[in-house]
Amino acid sequence: MNNNLLDTIALLSRTPAALDALLRDLPETWTFRNEGESTWTPFDVVGHLIRGERTDWLSRAKRILQFGESKAFEPFDRFAQQRESQGKSLAQLLEEFERLRSENLTELGAMNLRAEDLARRARHPALGVVTLSQLLAAWAVHDLTHLHQISRVMAHQYRDAVGPWSAYLGVLHCTGHSEA
């Protein structure tokens, strides 16, 4: 495997344990509050990451190998977790994410991707032509985008509590940059 793919897999394999260590059994002040109307709580984010494991990232990788540019991706459903997380605890979601990610990385490893596979092209419904290599890199940075978001959402809950220190705490000055 090439270095880039090994780096990608190394990061993807750590995210579930990192989120578990950060969030499990944490008071709901941190995990069940958002940044205002139509924004996500850390609980919502973990549900979104589960959806990505279940239907998006690896499925798209397989689709690239099978169809190349001849069949565009299905768009992501960014609100699926509102239905799919209902009635579950955060601990259950963290375990589900860990299990699905682990299964997906096992399957990814078994695909034995070579350089020519990673260069395969596909059609993204909005972004145009992309490669398998870019898809796998985006899977890893998608984890980081949501870790970045979770740290921001949590910090927001203490915006008033820190008083004048807010001037020095960069995370409180982050406006989010996108819906994620």
Rounded to whole angstroms, how far apart are CA atoms 153 and 51? Answer: 20
Give me the least distance between CB of 86 and its own copies, in Å please.
Answer: 25
| 179: number of Cβ within 10 Å | 9
| Piece of 44-52, 64-72, 80-88, 151-159 that binds its own copies (CB under 8 A) | 151-159
Question: Which helix (H) or strand (E) element contains residue 179?
Answer: none
Binds its own copies by CB under 8 A, chosen from 1, 30, 34, 88: 30
Rounded to whole angstroms, how far apart are CA atoms 158 and 151? Answer: 11
Rounded to whole angstroms, how far apart are CA atoms 163 and 140? Answer: 35
Give me the least distance between CB of 34 and its own copies, in Å please.
Answer: 15
Rounded to whole angstroms, how far apart are CA atoms 56 and 75? Answer: 9
Contacting residues toward its own copies, per CB under 8 A: 3-4, 6-7, 10-11, 14-15, 17-23, 26-27, 29-30, 124, 127-131, 133-135, 137-138, 140-142, 144-145, 147-149, 151-152, 154-155, 158, 161-165, 167-174, 176-180
